[in-house]
Chain A
Amino acid sequence: MLESGIIIRALMRNKIGALLIALQIALTMTIMVNAIFMIQDRQQQMQRESGIDEKNTFYLTNTVFAQDYNIQVEMQADLNLIRKMPGVVDAIQINAIPLSGGGWSMALQHEPGDDKDTVSSALYMVDDHGINTLGVELIAGVNFTPNDIQWRASGQSTWPDKTIITKAFAKSLYPDDWQSALGKTFYISQNQPMQIVGVMKNLQAPWNGWSGVERSMLVPFQMESQGSKYLIRTEAGRRDELMPIIEKALAERIKGRLIRRVTTIEDTRKKSYRQHNATNKILTTVVSTLTLITGFGIVGLALFSINRRTKQIGTRRALGATKWQIMRYFMVENFIISTFGVIFGCIGAIALNMWLATTFNLTPINIELIIIGAITLFIVGQLAVLYPARKASLISPATATRTI
């Protein structure tokens, strides 16, 4: 552009003002790009599917305190009662709830022995209704049969010999061909063999921050323990209506135990990702106020510089400059300042990302985000300078003839 030489020379007369705006833009971009990157990262984590029918599932805890209580018989009676209720799809006793943050994990290995490499997986103890209640999709093999189900005494160290695992787990066991996992045997507790009878599409471990969150397995166990959880899946849309009914029916069926913590999976998900959600909201607020402040800063400074140059602008107008030429002057000026700001912003954004990556184990940023950040700041700059530039263009040529 023809004027840019003049504009740069004019800028050099007020270096500090321009430098301050450029620095602001650079810092804003540094923060904006990294914050958006962090927000995206969290959103991706939050969008992962747990694999279960989240909308129509809830759970409750059953705590036995009476001394004369037949846990096996009463548990079966509880489940029969729930499964027969109209509106209920299925129900199971389970040791841990996906997304809840608390559960079991076991180390598994290809060969028996105490010095072999292991892969960890979350472990869910369910009966033959497990697949149906969780709502997971079996993509290979078969479900457990009622004969596979064993009672697990509290503190028991032996395991059943069958298991159903997730596809992600099969992939980490057999990286070349996950389908070959079906029918294979691996070892639990160092030396107890377990055969893979089925593979399910996906089922998350209870810990959403764990790197192996997609690895989980079902084992055909019913637990004979005083504290247990029932997971209940209802027909679409009937969950909220059935929750109090089932709670009441269980509480009234037998005394000597407590039914507590009736919780939906949706609430569990919300709680599980609460920190992610909170951080995202805070970061969004920070980024938007920051952009606003930078924008207003530009407006303020531009207005002042226009005020100081009223006479000069009037003179230019008197010498034949059009309104548009005056406006263009300030917009080009802002563009030049923004360019410097954005260049430093790119460096700052990458530097901050490198620091975050080493300090907090974040992944490196992608280049598209930096480009988007740069474009956004150019737009913000141009928008901010629009009003002052318009005001400048309205200065009357007659001003040139007046003293201040």
Chain B
Amino acid sequence: MFSYYLKIAWISILRHWGLSLLMICAIGLGIGAAMTTVTVNYLMSANPIPHKSEQLYYVQLDSWDVNDPFDEGKNPPDQMTYTDATNLWKAKKAFRQSVNAQTYAVIEPNDPDLLPIIADGRANTADFFAMFDVPFIYGGGWTEQADINKELVVVINKETNDKVFGGKDSVGETLKIDGDMFKVVGVINTWEPKPRFYDVTTGAFNKSADIFVPFSLIAEEKVRRSGNTNCWKPSGDGLAAFLAGECVWTQLWVELKTEQDKQEYLTFLNAYVEEQKQYGRFLRPLDNRLSNVMQWLENQEVVADDAKMMMAMSFMFLVVCLLNTVGLLLAKFLGKAPEIGLRQALGASKTTLFSQYMIESACIGLAGGILGLILAYLGLKGVESLYGDTMQGLATLDVSMTALAIILSLVSTILAGLYPTWRACNIQPAQQLKSQ
């Protein structure tokens, strides 16, 4: 029976090909627009580290100016002072903890034929690699001892390893960074979490770092700081005064296994701030926060307003397309009133008519969905070319998005087909036959 209905649907679609095409285009465009924006939102709000995003927490302390609170008092500063970050790191109250900050450096390859390169770097403590499951090809991270002893060690990414060492296992080699000889301890594989959750303050969709060096080297002036710095109180001259001052530029992540660990860590943070208050710091009311990965991304509004706004608009667009389809289906089915009347008089039940017209709607929906997928693919290409590198890797259709597009188009056309079908099934056969 099903294949017979399909055949009838096919004949009916072909007979009114202009109208069918119009409906397919309308659904296709609606689905295409909706899927393009949904995909961008979906990828922007993706969980970059699903298996442990609930255990990684970003730490915020409100060390800001009592007269002019950070973010008008709504949120504590988005980064941490050097003093607090190093104190909390040394306290080792969490299962793992990593202080990190953005840096940059000039690498002079050992091969004199190669030109020096400017590398984006990250200065971090040893736990960084284990906390964030950074994938290594060769070697591994450094030990905590290296952080404490301020050893000149470096972890480089695959790209840099290919450029400087021709892709070989470079563990144990030395690399000249900003004039100092660093020892390579590890090479990591391509690691581009999207969003780049571990540092959203300098662009949530930027590239990951090329090189990783111990955080303690910043104070030694072995690596240069970059990234955002925000101060509320003038500090004195020189690096030492800057580090001791009230400038936020470091980021502290901790790994806490259970909810209880989290509560204990928060208690510890509050106690720490109370203790610091004795030194005349932290004049604002207690506002220390622990946000897990997804909470932190939400708090930092990683999904752009524009993207959300366009998603809202494109769903309204889809609704217009569906209204269009409802109208056209209604016109089409009612146009068949004489035929329906005849079939009913010959004994077709309402169920039969209902399933036949629903199948016809679904066929149009499926065709529209496929067209929508093609348009969404083109739409994403367009988005990618319009936004340039900020959207790299954010504009791809994966299996779940493809499935969603097909389901969305089927469900929406079936919904759109319900009312017209219902009207068609309720046609009075007597009246139709009379006028024939």
Contact = CB atoms under 8 A, between A and B. Distances in A.
The B interface is mostly helix, strand or loop, or mixed, namely: helix
B311 to A, nearest CB: 11
B387 interface: yes
Interface stretch (A78-86, A236-244, A280-288): A280-288
Interface stretch (A62-70, A122-130, A131-139, A321-329): A62-70
Interface of A: 16-17, 20-21, 23-24, 27-28, 30-31, 34-35, 38, 63, 65-67, 114-115, 118, 153, 155-158, 189-190, 226-227, 258, 260, 271, 274-275, 277-279, 281-283, 286, 289-290, 293-294, 296-297, 300-301, 304-305, 307-308, 356, 360, 403-404
A227 B328 CA distance: 65
Contacts of B233: 114, 190
Given A293-B320, A293-B321, A308-B334, A66 B386 contact: no
The A interface is mostly helix, strand or loop, or mixed, namely: helix
Given A30-B316, A275-B306, A155 B387 contact: no
Nearest to B30: A293
Contact of A360 (B178, B305, B334, B388): B305
A300 B313 contact: no
Contacts of A308: 334-335
Nearest to A18: B327
B321 A65 contact: no
A240 B108 CA distance: 30
Contacts of A23: 323
Contacts of A289: 29, 33, 317
Interface string B298-313: 0000001110111001
Given A16-B330, A281-B386, A24 B118 contact: no
Contacts of B239: 155
9 contacts: A24-B320, A63-B106, A66-B179, A155-B239, A226-B224, A274-B387, A282-B386, A293-B25, A300-B18
B425 interface: no
Interface residues of B, number: 60
Contacts of B29: 289, 293
A190 B232 CA distance: 10
B129 interface: no
Interface string B148-167: 00000000000000000000
Contacts of B308: 360
Interface string B7-26: 00000000000110010011
Contacts of B178: 65
Contacts of B383: 278, 282
Given A16-B330, A157-B235, A286 B313 contact: yes
A155 B306 contact: no
Interface in B111-167: 116, 118
B305 A277 contact: no
A279 B306 contact: yes
A403 B239 CA distance: 97
A27 B315 CA distance: 11
B96 interface: no
B118 A27 contact: no
B409 interface: no
A17 B26 contact: no
Given A118-B68, A155-B241, A227 B320 contact: no
Given A20-B323, A20-B324, A286-B310, 20 more contacts: A20-B326, A23-B323, A27-B319, A31-B317, A34-B313, A38-B309, A66-B179, A258-B106, A258-B118, A274-B388, A282-B382, A283-B313, A286-B317, A289-B29, A293-B320, A296-B25, A300-B328, A301-B331, A404-B338, A404-B436
A157 B237 CA distance: 5
B242 interface: yes
B381 to A, nearest CB: 13
B424 to A, nearest CB: 13
